[in-house]
Amino acid sequence: MEVFFQTLVGGLGFGAVYALVAMGFSIVYRTMGLVNFAHGQVVMIGAYAASTFYMTAHVPFFISIPVAMVVTGLIGLVIERVLRPLENKDFDLMLIGTIGFGMVLESLATIIWGATGHAVPSPVDTEPLDVFGIRIRTYSIVVLAVAALATVALVLFLQRTKRGAAMQAVAMDHEAATAVGIHVGRSNAVAFAIGAGLAALAGALVAPMLYVNPTLGGSLGIKGFAAAILGGFGNIPGAVVGGLAIGVLDSYAAGRFQAYSELVVFLVFTVIIMIKPTGLFGERTVNRA
């Protein structure tokens, strides 16, 4: 029982990070139908940007996050701008293009920060809470809270603001949206920037939990992508649920199958997706039939 709950708590802590990564995937996908395979690497750059700023400029951790978000947001804009000629033409090519961007970002990180990486001291340095023998890291609570805030903010943005409404319209029918005077390119750029910003948030939050090095993005990206698909690609609440689900699945698989956990996680994922290809909550995407 204790193992059960402790595993759940551990899984949720990382699940919140996967949820943020998955949201980044989804916001881009629902708006422009593009899967950004470089997203994991953007997360990694975000982690580097935030932690470098935090550790060298000695500013509070939660101030370094917005800085990192600006950095990755700009990277997002660059990726979107470069791949724009392919938009609504060939999605497979765009996908491969983003893989190319991933390679570029990873090697750039190696060139800038070196291959070795660094550990990041936890910004919240208090003893873990002890609830009936279940230890809960205070930092995990912070991560969960930030992830929840980010979700709410994103949903409010999409539903309550003009720009958000425009993006919803583009997501539903970009031709009709163009017809009523919405600038589709700008919507896509904003979506890409938001996605990249979310990546930085995820990267910054995960930095003190892990060790920051250029290969950090790979597995975070793949698991985050799997989470987005599991929840229903392009679906924001789905991304959150999918992220938490992947985190928890990962933890339980590690407990039950030990070193074979990765094998089990991906087989389970494949089976779920084959049974329900649109994910748990249904796909939301541009209409491009």
Partner 1 sequence: MRLRVGGFAVAAVAAWFLPYGLDLYGIHVIDIAIVFALLAVGLGLAMGVAGQINLAQVAFFGVSSYAVAILTTRAGFGFWTAAVLALLAATLVGVLVGIPALRMQSHYLGIVTLGLALAFTNWVTNSTVTGGADGISGIPVPPLFGIDLSSEYLYYYLELVVFGLALAFAGFVAHTGLGRRMRAMRDDSLAAGAVGAPVPILRMTAFVLASLYGGVAGVLYAGLIRYVAPETFSIANMFLLLAMVIIGGRQSILGCVVGAVALALLREALVDFSVYAQLGFGIVVVLMVVFAPTGLAGIPARLRRLVRRRRTSDHRATLRPFRPEPAGGPDRVGASLEISGISKQFRGLRALDDVSMSVAPGEIRGVVGPNGSGKTTLFNIVTGIYGVSSGSASVDGRVVTGRRPHQLSQLGLARTFQNLRLFGQMTVRDNVLVALDRSSMLAVWRYLLWPVGIWRAERDLRARADDLLERFGLTDFAEAAPTSLPYGIQRRLEIARAMATQPRLLLLDEPAAGLNGQEVGQLGEIVRAIRADGVTVVLIEHNMGLVMSLCDRVTVLASGGVIADGTPAEVAVRPEVIEAYLGDSMNTADIAAEVESEAVR
Partner 2 sequence: MPRTATARLLLCATALAVATAGACSAPGSDSSSQESSDGPFKIAVVNAQSGQLSSLGQWEWKGAKLAADEWNAKGGIDGRTIELELFDDQGDPTVGTNIARKLSSEGFVAMIGTAESAVTVAMIPILRQAKIPNITSGQSPAIAEAGSPYAFYNGPTSNTYDESLARYLVDDKGHRKIALISNNGSYGKGERDAFTSALADRGITPVDDQVVTTDQKDFSAALTSIRQKAPDVLFVGAEEVAAGLIVKQARELGITATIAGAAPMGTPVYLETAGVTNAEGTVVSSPYLSNDTDEASRAFAEAYQRAHGEEAEMHGAKAYDGANIVFTALESSNGAGGAELAEAIRGTEYDGLLGDFDFDESGVGIHETSIGVITAGKLTAEPAS
Report the C-alpha gap between 57 and 48 in whole angstroms. 13
Sign of CA dihedral 66, 69, 70, 71: positive
Q: Is 57 helix (H, G, I), strand (E, B) or coil?
A: coil
Using CB under 8 A as the binding rule, whether residue 222 contacts partner 1 is answered as yes
* Torsion, CA 245, CA 279, CA 45, CA 188, rounded to 10: -140
Site string for partner 1, 79-118 (x = CB under 8 A): ---xx-xx---xxxxxxxx-xxxxxxxxxx-xx---x---
Report which residue type is found at 259: A
Of 59-67, 183-191, 194-202, 272-280, the segment contacting partner 1 by CB under 8 A is 272-280
Interface of this chain with partner 2, residues 123 to 162, rule: CB under 8 A: 128, 130, 135, 137
Q: Residue count at the site for partner 1 (CB under 8 A)?
A: 45
Using CB under 8 A as the binding rule, whether residue 238 contacts partner 2 is answered as no
Q: Which of 27, 251, 269, 281 binds partner 2 (CB under 8 A)?
A: 251
Site string for partner 1, 116-155 (x = CB under 8 A): ----------------------------------------
Q: Residue count at the site for partner 2 (CB under 8 A)?
A: 38
Residue among 141, 193, 201, 152 nearest 18 (CA): 201
Report the C-alpha gap between 201 and 101 in whole angstroms. 20
Using CB under 8 A as the binding rule, whether residue 42 contacts partner 1 is answered as no
Q: Is 60 exposed, middle or buried (0-12, 13-18, 19+ CB in 10 A)?
A: exposed
Contacts of 161 (CB under 8 A, 6+ apart): none
The residue with tokens 């049974």 is: 275
Residue among 114, 120, 108, 104 nearest 52 (CA): 120
Using CB under 8 A as the binding rule, whether residue 55 contacts partner 2 is answered as no
Report which residue type is found at 98: T
CB closer to partner 1, 9 vs 286: 286
Token code pair at residue 93? 């090519």
What does 137 bind: partner 1, partner 2, none (CB cut-off 5 to 8 Å by kind)? partner 2
Footprint of partner 1 (CB under 8 A): 35, 37, 82-83, 85-86, 90-97, 99-108, 110-111, 115, 218, 222, 225-226, 229, 233, 259-263, 266-267, 269-270, 273-274, 277
Question: What residues line the site for partner 2 (CB under 8 A)?
Answer: 2-3, 6-7, 9-11, 13-14, 110, 115-119, 121-122, 128, 130, 135, 137, 209-211, 213, 215, 219, 247, 250-252, 254-256, 258-259, 261-262
